[in-house]
Structure 1
Amino acid sequence: MGRILLVVRLAVRDLRRRRTEAALLLLAILAATTTLTLALVLGDAARDPYESTREATNGPDVVANGQAAGLPRLESLATAAGVTDHSGPFPVASGKLQAGDRTSDAQIVGRDTGVASVDRPEVTQGSWVSDGGAVIEAAFANALELRVGDSITLADRSFEVVGFAVTAAMPPYPGSSCIVVRPGCVNGVVTEGQTLPPGLLHNPGLVWLTQADVRSLAADPNSLSYVLNLKLADPEGTQAFIDANTGGPGRSAGMQSWQDILTDAIELARDSQILLLIGTWLLGLLAVASLSVLVGGRMADQTRRVGLLKAVGGTPGLVAAVLLAEYVLVALVAAAGGLAIGTLTAPLLTESSAGLLGSAGTPAITMTRILVVIAVALGVAVIATAVPAVRAARSSTVNALADAARPPQRMGWLIAISARLPVPLLLALRVAARRPRRVVLGVASIAVTVSGIYVLLVLNSFLSTQPLTGGYGDSQVRVLRHVLLTWTVILLTLAAVNAIVITWATVLDNRHSSALARALGATPGEVTGALAAAQVLPAFVGAVLGVFPGGFALFAAINGITGGDSDRATLPSLWQLAVLILATLLVMTALTAVPARLGGRRPVTDTL
């Protein structure tokens, strides 16, 4: 039999014998690979609505704008090298839009009543502009709860809403680009107490009127701005065109490429990707901790098997390869599952704005993404298993076959501290002291989990209290909540798996000492309580560290990556943090009770 085939058959047979543990291994790595896949493909899934809108409206490759003084320069861009078609320049005015009891800033673009060759907005309801008739950008209309036929007021003039439309020349509301209107505009949330300069537009929406109506709104023709839509021979060469036509004397036209508009249009997906990538790091750390403990427990349970393999001629290298192969196989299956689940789930976590056509599609799986996900899965498996596998392979064959209990390390200070404690706590301290590295992993696991929950509380509170958070509307905020919910479910699931794995590994590792304690008079209930308490005590330390400094540091890191303003975030109150720590302890007690009970009631004679 070939060496590789032998290794694979032995690994598969052991996985089949221990199906529950194999399932826990699979779940731990699957959580990380699924989240990573979501983070990698979410942007592509969100591109589809914009690209559909761009195709339907013959969207521009470059949008140029400028003030009335720079109109000659703006008009000259229509005949610049590389331009194949254009529409405009169109006049743009700014003003307040009032609809019932709702008021918002608006950028008002004057258009022809006919169809333009470049940037012909797609009417989704009603009809196109006419004298006295206004067309509202669809996402803006949705935010204002407008209907066709409603009356709106612009600059103290009344207009009838004759239709809604979408365009690819500007991101949907509320993330709309700022056309060069005087004195300018700003998007996003304004910090409480901050005063904007007079006339500055805040989160302006887009409205189309006829050119004549727009000019009539301006008291001074020189106060108008102008926008020009350009189609290029090379749509991918927009940056080169912009570089060649900006800068220098008399060149005051501002330009925005379609790629920049796309980036703004899918800003929600980019923020979701950041959250998911951070979630991937947290889940990766939890997966490594989970696998490290599970591998250590399985190695303790496989001691005799290692001795048998070596006794029949297996070299240390072969034994290590067999032990590693089990986890590599699980990692490969988890990578395939994570790629499939993440790709199919991505469209559910990105909601198309009302200002775009179509919906998010299923993104393509590229070879680069496949290799990244597989590399992460294998990295998690190898990091967690390499050292225990090599250590087991190098162990003495005779000692492995004997599978004797590990002699406890006598620590006088621990004996002195625990001697007068109740039996469950006495045994719990000694169980924890036998495996200090496992205790550290348990503390780190809970700290990572609580840190993630701390950040989720902050972000959820921020989304609840800040209108148009980060330039998002209600539907976009709802999508971010879905992303946070997904992250929460996966994080808590893996943390629960971790708690069960650590408890079960502790049960296996202490089966001899637990049986001996029962032989000397401890009851099954006391042994069960000791095994559970050995996990709950480190969980308390981990929960405290997860709140501070863990949660605070993680939130600061996310805030730094996204460029957010931490002053607008409401940190959890003391009672919320106290409830979080208490809930962590209660959940840990519940999760560890069953495996601890199973381990505490094993027959003493069989174990000894």
Structure 2
Amino acid sequence: MGRILLVCRLAVRDLRRRRVEAALLLLAIMAATTTLTLGLVLRDAAGDPYQSTREATSGPDVVAGAGRAAGLSGLEELAGAPGVAGHSRPYPVAPATLQTSGRTSDVQAVGRDAAPAPIDQPKVVQGGWVRDGGVVVEAAFADALGVRAGDQVTLDGRRFEVTGVAVTAAMPPYPGSSCVVATGCVNGVVPDGRTLPEEMLRNPGLVWLTQADVRSLAPDPGSLSYVMNLKLTDPGQAQAFADANQGGALFVQSWQGILEDATELARDSQILLLIGAWLLGLLAVASLSVLVGSRMADQTRRVGLLKAVGGTPGLVAAVLLAEYVLVALVAAAAGLAVGTLAAPSLTESSAGLVGGAGTPPMTVSTAGLVTAVALGVAVVATVVPAVRAARSSTVDALADAPRPPRRVGWLIAVSARLPVPLLLASRVAARRPRRVVLGVVSIAVTVSGIYVLLVLNAFLGSQPLTGGYDDAQVEVLRHVLLVWTVILLSLAAVNAVVITWATVLDNRHSSALARALGATPREVSAALAAAQVLPALAGAALGVFPGGFALFAAINAITGGDSDRVTLPSLWQLLAVVLATVLVVAALTSVPAHLGARRPVTETL
């Protein structure tokens, strides 16, 4: 039999013998790979709808605006600047107030020709293009207002028929529209205590009219603003062109800047999911480390048998590693499939863009990165215990003698006066200090994530149009947080159960000896549960501070957010999180501890 075939058969046979543990390994790695896949798919999705819209609408490379008619000369000079391959005529823009079905909203009305334009011809997705007495509404704005082609609206008191709904690549979809009017605009929520000029537009939408209708909305022709669309010989230099010509009476924005604003929701969702993926990766490493350690202890005699019949230390280590590599590969494939299928539910195609935001094809780079992370998690958690087991003595491995407890003089002196459950719990924890550290880290990572979830949930619920989002987009971000919460808590619960069960198996001899010397099964089970509750208390405290605070600061730095606009959890909320964590860990660990304490003493000894 070939060496590779032998390793694979031994690994598969061991996985089949321990199906529950194999399933826990699969779930732990799959949680991290699914979340990572979601984040990477959203990263790829961020550019696809906008690129589709640019192609469908002959989108401009640069959009330039002048706040007053006096700025028209600046637009003419810009049209003749080096690198400009083509341009549209300057279109008039007027601020207005739109009313429909009892709702009122500020708008920027752009005057356009009825004939198609070679640069930036908005794609009509419903109805038709502009005509006298008719208005075309930007698709995301129409979706927010609930208007359709054929409806009636008023602009500054004048009645217009909605002739169509269209999308454009020359401006981000509502509510993140660029501001080209001289009166100025504000997107999002106005901070408390700050007053703004009455003429400034609040969260303006975008509509198109004929040029004659737009001019009729402006009482003074000199108050009209103008916008012009440019094509460059090298679209990749659009941002440099915009930076070089920005300032004065001109507003200049590149297509890259519009892309960033248009896909802000997908980008923020991606950031949240990627951070969640790394947190879940840490939890997966902790879970695998405990599972691997407990399985290595349970496989001591099997390692001795493999070496006794001629297996080299390298072969033994390869067999032990192969088990987890196979699980990691299956988990990576499952995570890629689930993450790709779930992405559309987290970021539906924006009403203001053409294309599906959540359904880009799976790329080789995404699949490779997710698989590499899964294998990395498995190898990091497995390689040290596998090598240690392979290098152990064959005679000692065949004997499979119980591991002698560590004797710590000061701990014995302190614990001797404690009640029996706490006495046993302190000594159980002292036997496996690295496992205690893993338990503390696992809880700290989980509570840090909960801290950030409390901050972000309060931020999303405290004010409408937070950061320029509408209600539907806020719901999408809430769904992202919900996915993160469910997976994080589920994996943390699995970790708590796995650590307790590993502790039960590792301490079966010492627990049986304690019962033989007079401890009751209830005291033994309470001790095994308490050995996990005490690290949980320490981990919860560390997860609140500095863990949660540091994690939120990192997210805020990555996203470029404004920490002054968020409300941190109150003291009673943090205390409730710590108390709830301890109670949940106690409940989760009581069941395996109770099952372990019910084993007959004579059989174990």
**TM-score band, normalised by shorter chain:** over 0.9
User: For residue 354 of structure 1, what is the aligned residue in structure 2?
Assistant: 351
Secondary structure at 1:229 match in 2: strand
Equivalent-residue separation in structure 1 for 2:512 and 2:383 (angstroms): 31
Alignment partner, residue 579 of structure 2: 582
Amino acid at match of 2:414: I
The farther-off stretch of 497-506 and 303-312 is: 303-312
Match of 1:511 among 490, 503, 508: 508
Counterpart in 2 of 1:502?
499
Q: Distance in 1 between matches of 2:35 and 2:240?
A: 38
Secondary structure in structure 1 of the residue aligned to 2:321: helix
Matches within 5 A, 1:48-127: 48-67=48-67, 68-75=69-76, 86-99=87-100, 102-127=103-128
Q: What is the distance in 2 between the residues matched to 1:80 and 1:169?
A: 20
SS at match of 1:486: helix
Residue in 2 that maps onto 1:27: 27
Alignment CA distance shift 1:404-1:243 (3 Å): closer
- 2:177 is paired with a residue of what secondary structure? coil
| Alpha carbons 2:46, 2:267 under 8 Å: kept | no
Structure 2 match to 1:313: 310
Name the TM-score, length of structure 1 as normaliser. 0.92
Alpha-carbon separation, structure 1, partners of 2:96 and 2:12 = 70
Q: Determine the C-alpha separation between the residues in 1 that align with 2:304 and 2:355.
A: 62
1:152 is aligned to 154
Rounded to whole Å, the distance in 2 between the matches of 1:41 and 1:126 is 33
Structure 2 residue aligned with 1:410: 407
The answer to whether the 8 Å contact 2:238/2:256 transfers is no
Is the 2:136–2:166 Cα contact (8 Å) retained in structure 1? yes
Residue 97 of structure 1 deviates from its aligned partner by 3.8
CA distance in 2 between counterparts of 1:412 and 1:37 reads 50
Which residue of 1 is the match for residue 377 of structure 2? 380
Bigger mean CA offset, 280-289 vs 570-579:
570-579
Q: Unaligned 5+ residue runs, structure 2?
A: none
Whole-Å Cα distance in 2 between the matches of residues 325 and 493 of structure 1? Answer: 26
Question: Residues 288, 518 of structure 1: CA spacing in aligned structure 2 closer, same or farther, 3 A cutoff?
Answer: same
Q: Cα gap change, 1:292/1:249 in structure 2, threshold over 3 Å: closer, same or farther? A: closer
- Aligned partners of 1:249, 1:327: CA distance in 2, in Å? 56
Q: Which amino acid aligns with 1:225?
A: S
Alpha-carbon distance in 2 for matches of 1:250, 1:282: 43
Where in structure 2 are the equivalents of 1:198-597 lying within 5 Å?
199-231=199-231, 237-240=234-237, 243=240, 247=244, 254-597=251-594
The alpha carbon displacement at 1:27 in A equals: 1.0
- 1:4-43 → structure 2 map (5 Å cutoff): 4-43=4-43
Distance (Å, rounded) in 1 between the aligned partners of 2:314 and 2:59 = 62
Q: Which amino acid aligns with 1:64?
A: A
Q: 1:245 to 1:363 in 2, by over 3 A?
A: closer
Equivalent residue pairs, number: 603
Worse overlay, 250-259 or 139-148: 250-259
1:366 and 1:593 map into 2 onto residues whose CA distance is 45
Q: Give the secondary structure class of the aligned counterpart of 1:362.
A: coil
Deviations 1:2-53 (A, max 9, x none): 2222222222211111111111111111111111111111133344443444
Between stretches 264-273 and 2-11, larger displacement belongs to: 2-11
Aligned pair in 2 of structure 1 residues 243, 574: CA closer, same or farther (>3 Å)?
closer
Task: Determine if the alignment matches structure 1 residue 607 to structure 2 residue 600.
Answer: no
- 3-state SS in 1 of match to 2:523: helix
CA shift digits 1:443-465 (9 cap, x unpaired): 11011101101111111111111
1:140 is matched with which residue?
141
CA distance in 2, matches of 1:132, 1:366: 48
After TM superposition, give the deviation of residue 355 of structure 1 in Å: 2.2
Q: Which amino acid aligns with 1:567?
A: D
TM-score (normalizing by structure 2)? 0.93
Question: Quick one: structure 1 residues 130 and 365, their matched pair in 2 at CA, closer, same or farther if it must change by over 3 Å?
Answer: closer
- Separation of aligned partners in 2, 1:7 and 1:126: 65
| Alpha-carbon shift at residue 313 of structure 1 (Å) | 2.1
- Residue identity over aligned pairs, in percent, reads 76
Aligned partner of 2:499: which letter? I
Once the 2 structures are TM-superposed, how far is the Cα of residue 607 of structure 1 from its aligned partner? 1.8
Residues in 2 aligned to 1:549 and 1:430: alpha-carbon distance in whole angstroms: 28
Q: Secondary structure at the match of 2:89?
A: strand
State the partner residue of 1:194: 194
TM-superposed deviation, 1:580: 1.9
Conserved? CA contact 1:276–1:487, under 8 Å: yes
Q: Is the 8 A contact 1:500 1:592 kept in 2?
A: yes
Aligned equivalents of 2:287 and 2:367: distance in 1? Answer: 24
Q: Shift of residue 216 of structure 1? A: 2.8
C-alpha separation between the residues in 2 aligned to 1:7 and 1:150?
Answer: 73
Distance 1:251 1:472, change over 3 A: closer
Matches of 1:366 and 1:160 in 2, distance apart? 45
* In structure 1, C-alpha distance between the alignment counterparts of 2:508 and 2:107, rounded to whole Å: 72
* Higher alpha-carbon deviation: 403-412 or 457-466: 403-412
Distance 1:242 1:12, change over 3 A: closer
Shift of 1:161: 4.2
**How many Å separate the matches in 2 of 1:582 and 1:576?**
10
Question: In the aligned structure 2, how far is the partner of 1:606 from the partner of 1:306?
Answer: 23
Q: Cα deviation per residue 1:267-292 (whole Å; 9 max; x = unaligned)?
A: 10100111011101111111111111
* 2-structure distance, mates of 1:74, 1:255: 10
Q: Structure 1 regions of 5+ residues with no counterpart?
A: none
> Do the aligned partners of residues 145 and 334 (structure 1) sit closer, same or farther apart at CA in structure 2, a change above 3 Å counting?
same
Whether the aligned pair in 2 keeps the contact of 1:38 and 1:346 (CA below 8 Å) is yes
Q: Supply the distance in 1 between the matched residues of 2:574 and 2:517 (Cα, whole angstroms).
A: 42
What is the CA RMSD across the aligned residues, in angstroms? 2.6
8 Å Cα contact 2:246/2:252 also seen in 1: no
Deviations 1:444-500 (A, max 9, x none): 101110110111111111111121111111111111111111111111111111111
**Residue deviations 1:571-605 (CA, integer Å, cap 9, x gap):** 22233223322222222122212221221112222
SS in 1 for 2:111: strand
Larger displacement relative to structure 2 (471-480 or 139-148): 139-148
Task: Quote the Cα distance in structure 2 between the aligned partners of 1:517 and 1:469.
Answer: 59
What SS class does the counterpart of residue 88 from structure 1 fall into? coil
1:167 aligns with 168
* Per-residue deviation, residues 389-410 of structure 1 (Å, max 9, x unmatched): 1221222222111111111122
Structure 2 letter corresponding to 1:39: G
Amino acid corresponding to residue 114 of structure 2 in structure 1: T
Distance 1:540 1:247 in 2: 56
Q: Is contact 1:43-1:266 (8 Å) kept? A: no
Range moving further from structure 2, 265-274 or 373-382:
373-382
